[in-house]
Chain A
Amino acid sequence: EAQVTQNPRYLITVTGKKLTVTCSQNMNHEYMSWYRQDPGLGLRQIYYSMNVEVTDKGDVPEGYKVSRKEKRNFPLILESPSPNQTSLYFCASSLSTGAGGYTFGSGTRLTVV
């Protein structure tokens, strides 16, 4: 089944403790992206990647890092999480940008206390 897989689905952590949210897609998509979803704000892009070793900042990149060492994986790293990073996070992939439309993962609900 074609899909984007995120782990974990739920995560509660403490301020300052480094964490990684994994994302993997099995569709050979070149484009991958991370979004955060907050009530009343919709989806805001954190980082995106056009291909292996090619990443760039989205609208809200502060406090996040990404890497794209393999085409299928695009992990999101929070080096020192803070409470304002409590959110619902989505990974998405696309065969092409613009017209393609994204396939989304099921989401990771992160709580930083």
Chain B
Amino acid sequence: AQSVTQLDSQVPVFEEAPVELRCNYSSSVSVYLFWYVQYPNQGLQLLLKYLSGSTLVESINGFEAEFNKSQTSFHLRKPSVHISDTAEYFCAVSDRLSGGYQKVTFGTGTKLQVIP
């Protein structure tokens, strides 16, 4: 069985400061990893994903995440946050299997609050 842990339920950070949102996972097989963002009163949007290849993946709005197999982590980082980054961020994992249905398990979310 797979699981995802987001230890920080809320992260306050000042505008233009760097931020790291932590995500750890567990699985008995290889995985795909995702970060989703949920802005207020909206659904979740896929921010970035790791499938294979380079362990560092980037989004179009300046976020990046690094897959660390030995640490079983997929932390999300941004060097300088903006007010518009205020949202809830969800880490998710899916087993890398062929055929059938691969369940996606979500973490409990981290609320990023950017302070002006």
Contacts and interface: CB of A to CB of B under 8 A. Distances in A.
Contacts of B107: 42
Contacts of A98: 32, 94-97, 102
B43 A42 contact: no
Nearest to B48: A101
A106 B32 CA distance: 24
Interface of A: 4, 31, 33, 35, 40-43, 45, 48, 50, 56, 58, 90, 92, 97-99, 101-107
Interface of B: 9, 32, 34, 36, 41-46, 49, 51, 90, 94-97, 100-104, 106-109
Q: Is the interface of A mostly helix, strand, loop or mixed?
A: strand
B43 to A, nearest CB: 4
A48 B107 CA distance: 18
Given A42-B90, A42-B106, A104 B44 contact: yes
A107 B43 contact: yes
Nearest to A103: B46
A106 B42 CA distance: 5
B44 A102 contact: yes
25 contacts: A31-B101, A33-B104, A40-B108, A42-B90, A42-B106, A42-B107, A42-B109, A43-B44, A48-B101, A56-B101, A90-B44, A97-B100, A98-B32, A98-B94, A98-B96, A99-B51, A99-B94, A101-B49, A102-B44, A102-B104, A103-B46, A104-B44, A106-B42, A106-B43, A107-B41
Contact of A104 (B45, B96, B100): B45
